[in-house]
Amino acid sequence: MIVLKEGTTLTPETVRAHVKSRIADYKVPKRVDFVAELPRNQSGKLLKRELRAERTQDANGASSRQGDAGVSGTEGGGAASSPVAAEASESGAGTGATEDHA
């Protein structure tokens, strides 16, 4: 997943070509996703489980779409659109309350 800087343009093909020129063919990603921002928790750590969940949802929906080439747009891919982030902001997460996620 790639977060583009403001005003820059990049295509999945460009990314793959760049990576392919520097690493072995089998390490080149099959899929390149562009997102508006990466989901992070209150202390700024990356929420990998949300990235995996979004990717799983995209993969399940991609089989019904044609011509997508495995590329996600930049709309709605951020932490603000995730149910966990919305729930955390509503419940006042980060105020010292702990929650057991076992």
Structural domains of the chain, with CATH: 2-90 (3.30.300)
Answer with the residue of higher pLDDT: 91 or 51.
Answer: 51
- Residue pair 66/74 in contact (Cβ under 8 Å)? The answer is no
The span from the CA of 95 to the CA of 97, in Å, is 6
- pTM value > 0.75: no
Residue 78, number of CB atoms within 10 A of its CB? 16
pLDDT in tens, 24-83: 999 999 999 898 999 999 999 999 999 889 888 877 876 554 444 444 444 444 444 444
- Amino acid 78 reads G
In a 3-state reduction of DSSP, which class is residue 58?
A: helix
In a 3-state reduction of DSSP, which class is residue 60?
A: helix
